[in-house]
Structure 1
Amino acid sequence: MQETALLNMVPRTSTSKGANKLLRNNGYLPGNIFGKGMESISIAVKKDEFKKSIKEYGRNAVFKLVDTNNKEYTVMTKEITVAPLINEISHLNFQLVSLSEAIKQEVAFKIIGTEFLESKRLLLNSHVDSVPVSGLPHDIPHELEIDVSSMNSGDSLLFKDIKLPEGITSDVDPELKIITVKGLKRQEVAASE
């Protein structure tokens, strides 16, 4: 079970482009909290605190957002918008969650062991970067690790080959191809030497 990250938030009174730019210039990230049966709440969190929390707890962390009146919201990050030209986070969407109800969340794959494939002159082709999984918020993993170090040319990894953590399920097709490995053709090997 993962820990809950604590983040302070402030309400946003204006959601205009200019107001959001001013927030960003002052070190805040504009965002929204949404959930079933509630109106969206416009908020802002400190950019440095959010980035530190994501680094420490992971992309699928459970956050306790606390407003200036000490009202708490238990949330998970649903969407992180990145400004493409500057590659910086520009907006956040948080989903209100209950720690006792299963949710659906996208989980990324972390591929390890690629250096072994490279040493054997093999190419890795990743077909899928992430998959939707379901489970209790604290059980949702930050990422699903895939070790490719023992794979050989012609090998494929299907979704059914990945062991999900206890309490986590997915409705992804078990035959979904996640990774394939192939060898370099002789011409490619000669050209790279």
Structure 2
Amino acid sequence: MQNVELEAVLRTPGKNAARKLKEKGYIPAILYGKGMESIPLAVETGKLRTIVQKHGRNVLLNLIVNGATHQAILKDEQKDELTGKLIHIDFQRVSMNEKVEAAVPLKFEGVGVIESKGLLVQHQKWELNVEALPTDIPEEIVVDVSNLDIGDTILVKDVVVPEGVEKVDDSDEVILTVVAPKNADVAAEESTEAASEGE
């Protein structure tokens, strides 16, 4: 995985400072890591969005702060519940010889084949938590579902990951199930009823 450069500026914590940064097109962030004090930062929202769109969420960054370069990954993000816009970013400084945990998006191939049979795919997970060296973290993990039929299920243990990558999630956790349309409707209704009863 290639390193991508991203410049960051130091920021003063506080709501007023954060609002001013957002008006200038920046998003508040923080950089933390083993053996260091957390550093409040801000990065240009547009540049960060472009990097993620081009290289994926698990891109390895050369985060430049006051002339110093920190190798880091995008560890967490906070979004506004109403607008879905990013409001804060967590960066984790990493070492190239120490493993880190990351959530890797799952890419499902062959869904169209299943749908052509009049069946539906019920997704339970859209990403897989893994542990690997920063340079070994994949941008995505491909899961081929084209050979599945009604009633078939894919579990975490069924997913093949690249060499050097270890799965962190429970091996028996369900990723997806193939169902008939009416079964999907029933499942949805039961879920709605359960939610209503809970309220």
TM-score (norm 2): 0.86
Matching residue of 2:77: 80
Matching residue of 1:26: 24
Matching residue of 1:5: 4
> What is the DSSP-based 3-state SS (H/G/I as helix, E as strand, rest coil) of the residue aligned with 1:20?
helix
> How big is each residue's C-alpha offset from its partner over 1:14-50, in whole Å with a ceiling of 9 and x where there is no partner?
2111211111111111100001221110011111110
Q: Contact 1:61/1:138 (CA < 8 Å) preserved in 2?
A: no
Matching residue of 2:15: 17
Kindly provide the amino acid, as one letter, of the partner of residue 41 in structure 1: I
Matching residue of 2:33: 35
How far 1:79 sits from its partner (Å)?
0.5
Kindly provide the amino acid, as one letter, of the partner of residue 7 in structure 2: N
Q: Which has the higher helix share?
A: 2
> What is the DSSP-based 3-state SS (H/G/I as helix, E as strand, rest coil) of the residue aligned with 2:172?
coil
Residue identity (%) = 33
> What is the DSSP-based 3-state SS (H/G/I as helix, E as strand, rest coil) of the residue aligned with 1:160?
helix
Q: Contact 1:3/1:57 (CA < 8 Å) preserved in 2?
A: no
Kindly provide the amino acid, as one letter, of the partner of residue 20 in structure 1: A
Pair 1:143-2:140 in alignment: yes
Pair 1:178-2:145 in alignment: no
Query: 2:103 & 2:65 partners in 1: Cα distance?
Result: 27
Pair 1:96-2:93 in alignment: yes
> What is the DSSP-based 3-state SS (H/G/I as helix, E as strand, rest coil) of the residue aligned with 1:141?
coil
Query: 2:71 & 2:27 partners in 1: Cα distance?
Result: 18
Query: 2:109 & 2:89 partners in 1: Cα distance?
Result: 29
Q: Contact 1:107/1:144 (CA < 8 Å) preserved in 2?
A: yes
TM-score (norm 1): 0.89
How far 1:6 sits from its partner (Å)?
0.3
Pair 1:113-2:110 in alignment: yes
**Equivalent position to 2:53, from 52, 55, 59:** 55
Kindly provide the amino acid, as one letter, of the partner of residue 178 in structure 1: I
Which residues of structure 2 form unaligned runs of 5+?
A: 186-199
> What is the DSSP-based 3-state SS (H/G/I as helix, E as strand, rest coil) of the residue aligned with 2:167?
coil
Please identify, of 150-159 and 109-118, the stretch whose mean Cα deviation from structure 2 is larger.
109-118
Q: Contact 1:132/1:170 (CA < 8 Å) preserved in 2?
A: yes
Query: 2:39 & 2:182 partners in 1: Cα distance?
Result: 55
> What is the DSSP-based 3-state SS (H/G/I as helix, E as strand, rest coil) of the residue aligned with 1:39?
coil
Count of residue correspondences: 184
